[in-house]
Amino acid sequence: MKVVIVLYALISARAYAASINTGSVEADYETIVVGLGAAGTTAAATLTQAGVRVLALEAMDRVGGRVHTVPFGGGVVEMGAEWIHGTSPSRTYDLATKNGVKLIEQDENTEVYSSDGSRANSSLISELVIQAVGAINEHSDVNESIGEFLTRKLKEYLKEHYPDVLQDKEFLAEVFNLLDQGIGSNEGSSSWNDVTTKGQYQELNGHQYVSWGRNGYKTLFDILLNKYNNGSGLPSLTINLKSEVIKISYSDDPKQKVSVTTADGAVYTADNVIVTVSLGVLKAKHTELFSQPLPQAKLTAIDKISMGVLGKIIFLFPEHWWGKTEDTICFFWKADDRRNVSDEDAWLLKTSWISTPMGSNNALTFWTSGDTAKMVEAIPEDVVKRKLMSLIRRFMGKDVEIPDPIAMTRTTWFHNPYTRGSYTYDNLLTPQYPTARVDLGAPITDSAGNPRVLFAGEATDPQHFSTVHGATDTGHREATRLLERRSG
């Protein structure tokens, strides 16, 4: 299982818009791709390079979807996907290295600060985190929550190696709080008790935290669309940005085309359509998005798979005032201090992990997940800034003067109507519905067996969901499905 997170990148709209739809028109294509995140862009590029006439429709004003690189303080930060998780076999990693992109393996050390301003026992806490990570990577035949599983495993470890620590109930409770948040940052969940130990995720070989650095994850889309290093692009690919799809109509009749209608009234027809919208969008919109009810297996998958939410609040400081660039900073609450936090500020208790983005010298990223991330998205920005600066000064300001940030940015993946979340995770229902992701990704065919409505995106990858490499694989999978049908 992956350890921390996955997702996202900003691309210039003009760079890729071969044509921008401005009115109610009709056009005919072989394939229409809905959504230009990692899956959709991979599918569109793969088909176009094989000579297929493709129209790509993207609701947002940029390419990238839940990958979003933004300029920040003379560098860049990732509002979505932060790392390439694993190097082999990885289409994403291979595309970067084959094009000479300089990547950075980010080895994270954990520095722990206490709520009284002192340095906590970083060594022991780090050791317990490492033990937890190792335990998670063990595949379990029992369906229980990761919270229950890790609580038991760590108590067994402590009993053998640190029996005295088992008697410190308050210390142990805070360790479990930190791990709960760490799992949330990995899965996008509200609680580690929402995630199953009997999940299907499979970790790739190689380093799990490979950063694009100052190149940014946006570089993946430059490569896919042949724009990297002054590439000539893909002239035969038509991209319409700010084109929200509101209806996909299809029938069983092989003689009928698939039609796609956008919010501005434009109608496009094609032999088939590849739908790459997020599971969050499918949960909210599937009944109105498709002209007829989806197959029951697909409806069940949409209902039973969980869509997680991951949040980032990123501060830019005038100088680098903290420790090593790659350090992960962790806040460890003393029990009395935790009890004195008001209900209004309770979200701060779930904002205890901070990382240093590799694309910007003087930035720090606060991580939130699940219900906390949803709530923080709705808090006024000035309040978030003030509260987090008070938090960081409480924990880290004892021996250093912490300056005010000179810039701030944050994510809104849950409230974005075109994403409605960050990525999916395996919940406690997963073992009861083992084929859900395969069912979600299965194409809808006509009476002659021709794929008419195809599905791609991280949620449709049974082993590599929640990752960019998983999403790109699904885009390539569906493009290959069509190309094999075409050549046959």
Residue 460 has pLDDT above 60, yes or no: yes
Q: Residues 407-418: what's their mean pLDDT?
A: 98
Contact present, 461 and 27 (Cβ < 8 Å): no
Q: What is the mean pLDDT of the chain?
A: 92
Q: How confident is the model at residue 138 (pLDDT cuts 50, 70, 90)?
A: confident
Per-residue pLDDT tens for 351-398?
Answer: 999 999 999 989 999 999 999 999 999 999 999 999 999 999 999 999
Residue 178 has pLDDT above 70, yes or no: yes
Q: How confident is the model at residue 326 (pLDDT cuts 50, 70, 90)?
A: low
Cβ neighbours of residue 241 under 8 Å, at least 6 residues apart? 13, 17, 20, 58, 60, 61, 62, 63
Token pair in block for residue 359: 């694309």
Residue 194 has pLDDT above 80, yes or no: yes
Amino acid 8: pLDDT: 30
Closest CA to 80 of 92, 65, 66, 93: 66
Amino acid 91: pLDDT: 96
Q: How confident is the model at residue 110 (pLDDT cuts 50, 70, 90)?
A: confident
Residue 420 has phi, psi (to 5 degrees) of: 55, 40
Q: How confident is the model at residue 13 (pLDDT cuts 50, 70, 90)?
A: very low
Contact present, 265 and 54 (Cβ < 8 Å): no
Q: Residues 326-339: what's their mean pLDDT?
A: 91
Q: How confident is the model at residue 6 (pLDDT cuts 50, 70, 90)?
A: very low
Token pair in block for residue 164: 């005295």
Amino acid 107: pLDDT: 79
Amino acid 142: pLDDT: 81
Q: Residues 197-211: what's their mean pLDDT?
A: 94
Per-residue pLDDT tens for 305-321?
Answer: 999 999 999 999 999 99
Residue 204 has phi, psi (to 5 degrees) of: -75, 165
Q: Residues 409-431: what's their mean pLDDT?
A: 98
Question: Which has the higher per-residue pLDDT, 399 or 478?
Answer: 478
Amino acid 180: pLDDT: 96
Q: How confident is the model at residue 14 (pLDDT cuts 50, 70, 90)?
A: very low
- For strands 353-355 and 328-332, give the pairing: antiparallel
Give the single-character DSSP code of 250.
-
Amino acid 19: pLDDT: 36
Half-sphere exposure of 263 (CA within 13 A, CB side): 11
Contact present, 254 and 447 (Cβ < 8 Å): yes
Q: How confident is the model at residue 26 (pLDDT cuts 50, 70, 90)?
A: low
